[in-house]
Structure 1
Amino acid sequence: MNDFLLAQMVAAERLPNAHESKAAVLLELKSSLAGASGEQRTATLLKRELDLPGETIFLNDVHIPYKDGTAQIDLLLIHEQMVCVLEVKNMVGEFYFDSVNFQFHRIIDGRREGMRNPEAQLHRAVRAVSNFLGVPVHGVIVLASRSGKVVEAPKQYPIVSLDYLPFHLERLALGSKIFDVTALASKVEQLPQQNLSRHWFARHRIDFNALRPGVTCPDCRILALDWQERKWLCRICGFHSRDAHKVTLQEYAVLFGESLDTQLAYRLLGVENKYTLYRLLKTAAPQSNVRGKRRIVEDRDLLRGYFGKIYR
């Protein structure tokens, strides 16, 4: 789970049902989860089944500089014999690639749905990686779902099922060592992280005031927990914990950054006593060099663990 997917999960959980963007947020989260699942299955299969000599490095969800922006790469494979961009599609239905007008649509449950053309996305990504690394780059569209069927295939790039992907990539290998795997991977890994959340929040009109505050009960996920007798307590299911607020702090950090205004922290955690607040924030969000500001200690694994139980 990258930070953008985590941000979508937090927004979906904390936006009230009455918010104008709640339905759109849930729909986009569903799409992002399907995509992430397909990419994870693809990487897992390749690491297990791909039979190539030497080292193979897989980089997922990378953003390569391209013209005035960036190109998003689902999965980038770097091997001493080849570099390949994988455009992973975890979709169902019948797929039609119009190579005359460069459009794409699918038929699902008898409905025709126009969508972004995976071939055009892949072409842009391949050009970006090739220009950035200065090497020739292959491209493959990967069907991660067995419930997808290609009726009209793309013309410029191959589209293969996930089961066949390792064999397809092995056939692309040139047979001789021509790339420095470590050097190419290092160049990509040194790129700055992209913050996709800010534009997404603005588009959906999400800010702190739009979100439900408080420390969420991880069991019933209905009400905010109460701080009583030095522990968090759920009035509905009886859940109790001493550090449940740490997940809430990570939720805030993934949405708005690690800098937390002390006065805002009262509303965020739902506490009123300053000594209680300072005790809760002492290690998880210690005071910064700026008066009235705290610095949340990053620990995304807390969020991944929390949401991993929800979105299995």
Structure 2
Amino acid sequence: MFYKDRDIPYKLKAEEALMRRLNVNHSKLPVIEEEYRKKLAGIRGEKELDYHLSCLANNYLIINDLRLQQGAHFFQIDSLLISPKVSFIIDSKNIAGTIIFDHEFNQCIRIFNEKEEGIRDPFTQVQRHIRLLSQWLDEHKLPALNLEYLVAISRPSTIIKSKGTNSYSNFRVVHAAHLISRISDLEKSYPKDLTSIKEIKKIAKQLVKNHVPHKPNILDTYSIHPNDVKNGVQCPQCHAIPMDKVYGSWYCPLCQTSSKTAHIPALSDYYFLYGSTITLSQFSDFLLLPKSKSKSASSFLISLNLPCSGSKKGRVYDLTSLIEK
């Protein structure tokens, strides 16, 4: 069964918010758009992987997008399949063109549109994950697992090649369509249960409980100054920024659209750009509410019924319940 589904990556949502609020001629915009496209491709690849993993649902507890902390290090596993006999770490790759695994130099080479480039070696990464996960289980006094790994190439059109002789690693890279048969082959090496189903469920519960979502500061990631980010409410119709607050509604001077809820997506953008908390001053500045109507802005913010802390002047509101509901 799928014990933990995939989440839409926080960074993807943050990039969407940032792209909405940068000028079209901003120097960093093409870089952000390219990274965003890569993430979307990765998500499509993971959906393809999940389609094939669903055939295993009765034999394994499947945990997707698991990020754990081990000591000073964080590590993220695309898919973890756990069972009493053997468990698998699956690394999903959605790579177009030709991918060459060079076992002599422990590197991975991609050839696409006659361009050759080095990419992160998935074998090195997944072996690190096995080591860290084993340490994590030991430190949390959980039963050990027989850990295997596979690198799943989600694009059927991707050509897989190998340089050097390493039958062990070559056997562990496979197109997603053949993933189940490869898992079946590896299962034969583990005929006996290492632990019980009860213990497996206990392990899965603790893993998900300790999952740490990755929430990077997107402005720092792309070295963008807050002054480059447009403040204001975006029109849901023509996407212009800003809208004007007129008698309890938001009015777009460009296309004359009126909305009572257009501030919600704006506050969502704030959440992904600046964090989960907001003060009255930050609220007014970001929504471009007139300073002369501070009482109105305060009433508006209070009406959102957000959890808050602190005294009246220094009160801080938590946007999490508004954004993640």
Q: TM-score range by the shorter chain?
A: 0.7 to 0.9
Residues of 2 paired with 1:26 and 1:108: CA distance? Answer: 19
Cross-structure match for 2:294: 274
Deviation at 1:284, TM superposition (A): 5.2
In structure 2, what is the Cα distance between the partners aligned to 1:162 and 1:220? 41
Measured at CA, do residues 214 and 58 of structure 1 come closer, stay the same or move farther in structure 2, by a change above 3 Å?
A: farther
Is residue 2:168 matched to residue 1:147? no
- 1:288-307 CA-to-partner distances (Å, cap 9, x unmatched) read 324242222434457xxxxx
In the alignment, structure 1 residue 172 sits paired with structure 2 residue 186 = yes
Would you say the 8 A contact 2:93–2:153 is kept in 1?
yes
AA aligned to 1:141 is V
State the secondary structure of the residue aligned to 2:309: coil
Partners of 1:81 and 1:299 in 2: CA distance: 43
Amino acid at match of 1:280: F
3-state DSSP of counterpart to 2:152 = strand
Q: Number of matched residues?
A: 298
Q: Tell me, yes or no, if the aligned pair for 1:88 and 1:144 is still in contact at 8 Å.
A: yes
Asked whether 1:252 is paired with 2:257, we answer no
Task: Percent identity, please.
Answer: 22
Q: 1:305 is matched with which residue?
A: none
Q: Distance in 2 between matches of 1:254 and 1:109?
A: 35
Deviations along 1:113-145, one digit per CA (max 9) or x if unpaired, are 221112222221222222222322111111111
1:159 maps to 2:159: no
- Do 2:103 and 2:162's aligned partners in 1 also have CA atoms closer than 8 Å? no
Q: Using a 3 Å threshold, how does the CA distance of structure 1 residues 21 and 226 change in structure 2: closer, same or farther?
A: same
Residue 260 of structure 1: how far off its partner (Å): 0.5
Is the CA contact (8 Å cut-off) linking 1:79 and 1:181 kept in structure 2? yes
For 1:164, give the aligned amino acid. H
Q: 1:218 to 1:124 in 2, by over 3 A?
A: farther
Select 2:204's aligned residue among 185, 188, 193: 185
CA positional deviation for 1:161: 1.2
Deviations 1:156-182 (A, max 9, x none): 431111112223223333454434221
TM-score normalised over the length of structure 2:
0.82
Partners of 1:146 and 1:222 in 2: CA distance: 40
Which of these residues, 245, 249, 255, is aligned with residue 227 of structure 1?
A: 245
Distance 1:218 1:149 in 2: 43
In the TM superposition, residue 276 of structure 1 has moved relative to its aligned partner by: 3.7
Structure 2 letter corresponding to 1:135: L
1:121 to 125, 130, 137: 125
What amino acid does structure 2 have at the position aligned with 1:11?
L
**Cα 1:225–1:82 shift into 2, 3 Å:** farther
Match of 2:3 in 1: none
The alpha-carbon deviation at position 89 of structure 1 amounts to: 0.6
TM-score normalized by the length of structure 1: 0.85
CA distance in 2, matches of 1:51, 1:182: 14
Q: Which moved more, 1:109-118 or 1:291-300?
A: 291-300
Rounded to whole Å, the distance in 2 between the matches of 1:293 and 1:39 is: 38
Residue 82 of structure 2 corresponds to residue 61 of structure 1: no
Moved more, 288-297 or 135-144: 288-297
CA shift in 2, pair 1:201/1:110, >3 Å: same
Conserved in 1, the CA contact under 8 Å of 2:146 and 2:194?
Answer: no
Corresponding letter in the other structure for 1:139: Y
Question: Which range is displaced more, 30-39 or 145-154?
Answer: 145-154
Q: Is the Cα–Cα contact under 8 Å of residues 70 and 132 in structure 2 kept in the other structure?
A: yes
Aligned residue for 1:30? 37
- Whole-Å Cα distance in 1 between the matches of residues 71 and 267 of structure 2? 36
Distance 1:183 1:115, change over 3 A: same
Equivalent runs, 1:75-114 vs 2, <5 Å: 75-114=79-118
Find the counterpart in structure 1 of residue 16 from structure 2.
Answer: 9
Structure 2, gaps ≥5 residues long: 1-7, 138-143
Cα pair distance change 1:9/1:80, threshold 3 Å: farther
- Taking a change above 3 Å as real, the CA distance of residues 213 and 70 of structure 1, as seen in their structure-2 partners, is same
Equivalent residue for 1:242?
260
The 1:106/1:223 distance shift into structure 2, 3 A limit, reads same
For structure 1, the 5+ residue unaligned runs are: 303-312
